Every structure is written in structure tokens, then in C-alpha cells.
Amino acid sequence: MVWEQAKRFLYEGDKKEATRNAYGERISELGETNKDIVVMDCDLSKSTMTAMFAKKFPERFFNFGIAEANMMSAAAGMATMGKIPFVSTFGVFASKRACDQVSVSVAYPGLNVKICATHCGISVGEDGATHQAIEDVAIMRAIPGIVVISPSDGTETKKAIDAVVAHKGPCYVRLTRSASPLIFNDEYEFKIGKGTKILEGQRATVVTAGFTTHICLSAVKKLGAEGISLELINMSSIKPLDAELLLSSAAKTKLVFTVEDHNIIGGLGSAVCETLSEKLPTRVIRIGIKDKFGSSGSPSELYAAYGLDEQSIMKTIRENIK
């Protein structure tokens, strides 16, 4: 059932929005009052939605062409001068092509650079494996000092952008191409290092983040109607992780499922396992991409093929609930 305290911030309606679009809107709004914000892109501003900012503030928008490493280094330089650089490109390029610059130029000196990468996960769809970031959380999570956030809907994305502006230090925000249903209303509060319990249950805990959250919400509700009472946690702050919330729920249910549009190695599932293994050994079933590359297809086709659609998630949970 819906956790009592969650009732006030859950959205009621059928609106859908891509998190990349919410990012473009919010950074454009913040640019009006915060003159230190600058935005950088690599010939993808119409896809990352930074074109919104570029149109309003052309003097604070910088297009680096197909040169992601150069963009990260330039962002580091601007951060040393008091600017707040928002750096955007596709997740595969931000996490892999520019990894050295992110690590050495941004993270090592702890500079105030905000990397907001779009087109993450297999929900990218038809673009295929080369453009589907399924290792980005693992890479960014392993770099010291970087905050890693995977917002679950448009509302949370806007709240998360506000939070990373206020946070002093490097951040990685994982955004998606495809639109997804809104989960939260404007009463929702996002905090770095905190998760959100959405549904309260007894049999097992489901921990998710990003695009899979709305799918899990529907799946858990349907399983509840079958008599399988599950707790649902939105863990959009992957690093730092809300250990207190996780441990409290795991201590009650004794079984945890993690669901993510990412390789099960190094992502949210790994973060959950690391925390539980040290503090409260608990059985964890990781639902995600099982150490393979993505492929081309519609988001719905790919989610079904990789076991991330609603029916597959429900089937996995049923098979592991005693």
C-alpha cells in the first residue's frame, strides 16, 4: 500500500515527460537568476535539451563540437574561476570517452562541475548498443568524490538539478531519452544522499531508480493485489546511498530486489549489495542488464528482451518469494 507519508507528494494524472526535457527547462529557469551557471555541449544540444539554455543565454553557452574530453577540461577551468558549468552529452560519451578528464581534471581537484548526461540505458531504443550507456553509473560511482543521481521522473529531475546547483563539488546526473509517467508532484522533496519510500510492504523490498521506477511502481501495485506485499524504494541518489532507509527496510522484509536500466555489475544493485554485505547481510536479487551489451529496438521491445518490463519484473519477484 502507499506509504502514508508518500501520499502528499505522489502525482495524480497521466502526464509524461522525458527527464532530459525537464533538465533543459530547469537549467534555463535557473540561468535567469544564477549568472554563474554556464552550459556546455558537444553538437547535441537539441538532443540533450541544452538548446533551451542556448537560446536564452547564448553568451553563456559553449558548443565544443565532437570533443568531449576538451569540454570536460574547459569546464574544470571555468569552475576554478567561480562558474558553475553544466556539461551535457550522451551518457556513453560523458562516462567513457571523457573518463580521464572527468577523473583527473574534475574529480581529483573536487571542482564544481555538473555532468548531466542524457540517452542513458537501453531505453534509448533504436540508436543501439553504441549509444546506450549501461556502464556509466559503475564508472562514475567508482571515481572518488562524484555524486551520482538517477532521477525517476521530470519532477524529480528538476528538484535534483536544484540540489546539484547548491552542492559544492562534482555531480553526475543520469537522464533519459524517452518520456515516462510523472510519479511525483511539486510537493516532493529531493535530497542528495536520501531515498524515498513510496509503497510500504512486508514480503520484500524493491529498490529502483531512474526510468524503471514507474514500471516498478505499477508492478508492485499489481503484485500487492495478488497478495504479495512489497516495499518500494526510489533510490535516485545512488552515491551517496541512503543506507539508513535501505537497512531499515531490509531488516523488516529480509529480501531485496534491485531494478535498474544498467549493467547489474557496478550499478545500483552493486551499491545495495555493498551496503548490505557490510552492515546487514541480506539476500539480494539484481534485476537489470546481465553483463551484455544493448541492441537496437523500441524501448518496450528492449525492456521485454532484457527482463525489465513489468511482466518480467513481476515474474522474477514471484519466483523468488517464498
Cell numbers at residue 219, please? 508492478
**Phi/psi at 223 (5° precision):** -65, -35
DSSP code per residue over 191-216: -TT--EEEE--SSEEEEE-TTHHHHH
For residue 234, give the nearest of 263, 212, 265, 201 by alpha carbon.
212
Query: In terms of domains, do 315 and 248 share one?
Result: yes
Give me the CATH number covering residue 209: 3.40.50.920
Q: Give catalytic residues, as residue numbers.
A: 68
Query: In terms of domains, do 77 and 201 share one?
Result: no
Q: Which residue is associated with the grid cell 535530497?
A: 191
Q: How many domains does the chain have?
A: 2
pLDDT given at position 39: 98
Query: In terms of domains, do 118 and 191 share one?
Result: no
pLDDT given at position 7: 78
For residue 133, give the nearest of 120, 123, 117, 150 by alpha carbon.
120
Query: In terms of domains, do 160 and 221 share one?
Result: no
For residue 95, give the nearest of 299, 267, 303, 260 by alpha carbon.
267
Return the C-alpha torsion angle 137, 140, 141, 146, nearest 10: -130
For residue 22, give the nearest of 196, 176, 210, 189 by alpha carbon.
176
Strand order in the sheet with 283-289: 196-199, 230-234, 204-208, 255-263, 283-289
pLDDT given at position 55: 98
Query: In terms of domains, do 176 and 233 share one?
Result: no
Q: Which of 131, 163, 181 is the last residue of a domain?
A: 181
Query: In terms of domains, do 278 and 198 share one?
Result: yes
Give me the CATH number covering residue 126: 3.40.50.970
Query: In terms of domains, do 162 and 56 share one?
Result: yes
Query: In terms of domains, do 217 and 161 share one?
Result: no
Per-residue pLDDT of the chain (322 residues; tens, 9 = 90+): 665 677 788 889 899 999 999 999 999 999 999 999 999 999 999 999 999 999 999 999 999 999 999 999 999 999 999 999 999 999 999 999 999 999 999 999 999 999 999 999 999 999 999 999 999 999 999 999 999 999 999 999 999 999 999 999 999 999 999 999 999 999 999 999 999 999 999 999 999 999 999 999 999 999 999 999 999 999 999 999 999 999 999 999 999 999 999 999 999 999 999 999 999 999 999 999 999 999 999 999 999 999 999 999 999 999 999 7
Query: In terms of domains, do 272 and 125 share one?
Result: no
Cell numbers at residue 235, please? 533510490
Q: What is the pTM of this model?
A: 0.96
What is the CA 205 to chain-centroid distance, rounded? 19
Q: Is the peptide bond before 151 cis (omega within 30 degrees of 0)?
A: no
Query: In terms of domains, do 174 and 63 share one?
Result: yes
pLDDT tens-digit series, residues 159-192: 999 999 999 999 999 999 999 999 999 999 999 9
Query: In terms of domains, do 223 and 263 share one?
Result: yes
Identify the domain containing residue 32 by its residue range. Answer: 17-181
Q: Which of 139, 155, 181 is the last residue of a domain?
A: 181
Query: In terms of domains, do 52 and 177 share one?
Result: yes
**Other CB atoms within 10 A of residue 218 CB:** 14
Q: Which of 157, 181, 205 is the last residue of a domain?
A: 181
